[in-house]
Amino acid sequence: MNLEESISEYQPGGYHPVHLNDIYTSNLTAYKIIQKLGWGHFATVWLAKNLKTNQFVAIKIVKSSHNYFEAAEDEIKILSILNHDSNDDHHINDSIYNLGKNGVMKLLDHFIISGSNGNHIAIVFEILGENILSVIYKYKKEKLNQLSFSTNSIISNPSLIPINIIKDITKQILLSINYMHHRGIIHTDLKPENILIQYKGLINNKSSFKSTNFLLPLIPLNSKLDDSTTIKIADLGNATYSNLHFTNQIQTRQYRSPEILLKYKSWGASTDLWSIGCLLFELITGDYLFDPHDGINFDKDEDHLAQIIELLGEFPSINYLKDCKLSSKYFNINSKKNEISLKNIKTLKFWKLYDVFIDKYKFDPNDINIKLITDLILKCLRFNLDERYDCKSLLAHPWFDTNPTYNEDILKHLPNIHDDIPGYTSTWDMDD
């Protein structure tokens, strides 16, 4: 992994050269560059001080090429929608909707920098803490240290992060994404790296910051999560509108839904729910739910599909596959006999999610939490987009109760109502 961006990318169409103590001016204020926070493929990120308020901010300075410039403009438009109330907001009295409003990273300002390599959009964000991925790494390291001293401590508490904290983080994610979906925005790249911890208190000392190669800033890494931890959804550079999809090439591999893998006839906001299911498993175990690889006779996508089928214990239906452009590439389908098999992977090892938790991660089979979590994740991992639960429906799941109980009948009949979400299963026609 490269620790710094390539110098060769500092050219017309590429990065803007930034120096410490540089001052950039917007229509609102001026910003003084304090230190570098990180970089990504299409931007560098800097710690800066608002010279009017003396508060620290993060400034993302995007490459100047036309494609990146346009993408940054789209990100600003999407963030502006999410950061401001709509005049025709018919969800204004919905308490669950309102609880998610503050769960999306705040856009503070934006302006254009004209430099030697062209015109660059600069986007100013609130400062937040480390991302959930770094938290997972921290807890994994702690678990390994525990393992070296006592195996029993691991078995008695197999969850990577304490369950009560995972529950609270999951609830906040669902609230935030529910808000986004009802505003007609799909994230399309939900993963631990894009969920940040909100820093508590005013930051007024640059030594609080630690440089990182992540796109967004990290701040004090010595704190642990607790019941008061607040998260925010970040990195909306790949987000799209429910009524206008910028691209069908979405989602990071491990969190990618089958409708994207198979090029199903449509996709919508429900694709974020698949990613949430994968993410929840990762919070609990520290491992990817699906981590496909190329084989001698099969590619990564077919392995991905095989892993999904093995976990769910079933193939997608023939009717579903008929509406997928790539079904014939990966499946043998015999409609008359109602038989389906993968083209190149002949042997499948079915291992259902609950059994994975029990057999691989050594959870107690009688653990109510793990039974409920299994059900919640599986409600995210439905092939049929209409059957995939939305965020608001999942927030009514018994796992979020103060004293949760497991009742199969209640779980089976848990309402799944997403008719009020624009484009939940497909591109939404604004005229509908």
Question: Of 85, 88, 189, 301, which is the active-site residue?
Answer: 189
Asked whether the beta carbons of 187 and 236 are under 8 A apart, the reply is: yes
172 sits in the region (left: phi over 0; alpha: psi -120 to 50; else beta) called alpha
Residue partners of 77: CB distance under 8 A and separation at least 6: none
Active site residue 189: yes
Cα(237)–Cα(252) distance, integer angstroms: 13
Binding positions: 60
What type of residue is 329? K
| Calpha distance 249→256 (Å, rounded) | 10
Query: Are 162 and 86 contacting, i.e. CB atoms less than 8 angstroms apart?
Result: no
Q: In degrees rounded to 5, what are phi and psi of residue 33?
A: -70, 125
Question: 107: how many CB neighbours lie within 10 A of its CB?
Answer: 20
Q: What is the DSSP string of 257-321?
A: -HHHHTTBS---THHHHHHHHHHHHHHHHSS-S------SSS-HHHHHHHHHHHHHTSPPPHHHH
Catalytic residues: 189
